[in-house]
Structure 1
Amino acid sequence: MTTWITICDTCKRDDWDEATHSRSHGEDLAERVERQAEGRNVRTRRVSCLMGCGHGCNVAVQAEGKLAYTLGRFIPDDEAAAAIVDYAELHAQSETGQVPFKQWPQGVKGHFVTRHPPLPHTGD
């Protein structure tokens, strides 16, 4: 089962300003997450808007049949990207998608926004 990191590439943190930023914070985070995920047991994709603007920068960690999580309020740096990918790998290793708190990378603590149960199987 593949765990996906879906990265909002349109996120702009509160300090974003057209005069000082040539692109969105989401693009900066996406590049870093993609680089950290290379050769790892997770996949990445970009979307334009996860509708969590008050929590930018946002990502979703999800896999078929598992709990899914939205995380936000990241600074788009290498430390955040590494923590996101490390957490996603733990999600991938979990049968249900739930990762015990004591295993969470420090860099994701305080960044959880929502948790979604897996969709029911077709016909249920």
Structure 2
Amino acid sequence: MSQLAVVDLCGHVPILITTRKRIGNADLGCCSSAPHASGLYVMSILRASNGGTSIVVCSTCKFKADEPLNASGERGGTALFRHVKDATATLKAASISVEPMACLFACSQHCTVHLRASGKVGYVLANLEPTPASAQALVEFARHYDQSSEGVVPYKHWPEGVKGHFLVRIPPEGMVTVD
């Protein structure tokens, strides 16, 4: 493959631009079947995701608002992802997948996640602590979310660790909430 440039879209996520659409028999997942007007192909930033309820963790998030890395050089999103994976195992939440994603574009926040499932209201939570306790609260909330029909969890079931961390709720495709 002839690599021409790496474009940094958000400060974290490099996008590879190439002159060839295929490498052997492997499709690069180009954004279209024809090259860009410049003659270059742009590789897709998307990949298949797990079905069902998932917690998508921004793997590139800062550790804290003013600290990108912890003392050992780990990004907050990477630490949070590890703790959430551990919490799903500890709490036996096998129906909930945990997936990393580079940059959710909530860069003015830190430690951001997107809780989602098909046909349900989704939520973006931010400013979470990259700790086991915070991850456990998130997974506990996600278990109630997973068991709900529309993604609505009664407030009495919200663990303390998620209260005050909701940034947005996202209606499922083709729907909005009633007034």
Shift of 1:17: 5.2
| CA–CA separation in structure 1 for the residues paired with 2:141 and 2:71 | 31
TM-score, with normalisation over the residues of structure 2?
Answer: 0.64
| CA–CA separation in structure 2 for the residues paired with 1:52 and 1:19 | 19
Aligned residues: 121
| CA–CA separation in structure 2 for the residues paired with 1:19 and 1:27 | 10
Q: Greater relative contact order (Cα 8 A, min sep 6): structure 1 or 2? A: 1
Identical columns (%): 35
Q: 2:65 matched to 1:14? A: yes
Q: Which runs of 4+ in 1 moved over 2 A?
A: 17-21
Shift of 1:20: 3.8
Give the counterpart letter for 2:77 in structure 1: G
| CA–CA separation in structure 1 for the residues paired with 2:162 and 2:138 | 7
Shift of 1:111: 0.3
CA shift in 2, pair 1:17/1:66, >3 Å? closer
Higher radius of gyration, 1 or 2: 2
RMSD: 1.8
Shift of 1:21: 4.6
- Unaligned stretches of 5+ residues in structure 2: 1-50
Query: Which of the residues 54, 61, 79 maps onto 1:28?
Result: 79
TM-score, with normalisation over the residues of structure 1?
Answer: 0.90
- Bigger fraction of residues in helix: 1
Query: Which of the residues 37, 53, 73 maps onto 1:3?
Result: 53
Bigger Cα displacement from structure 2, 8-17 vs 49-58: 8-17
- Unaligned stretches of 5+ residues in structure 1: none
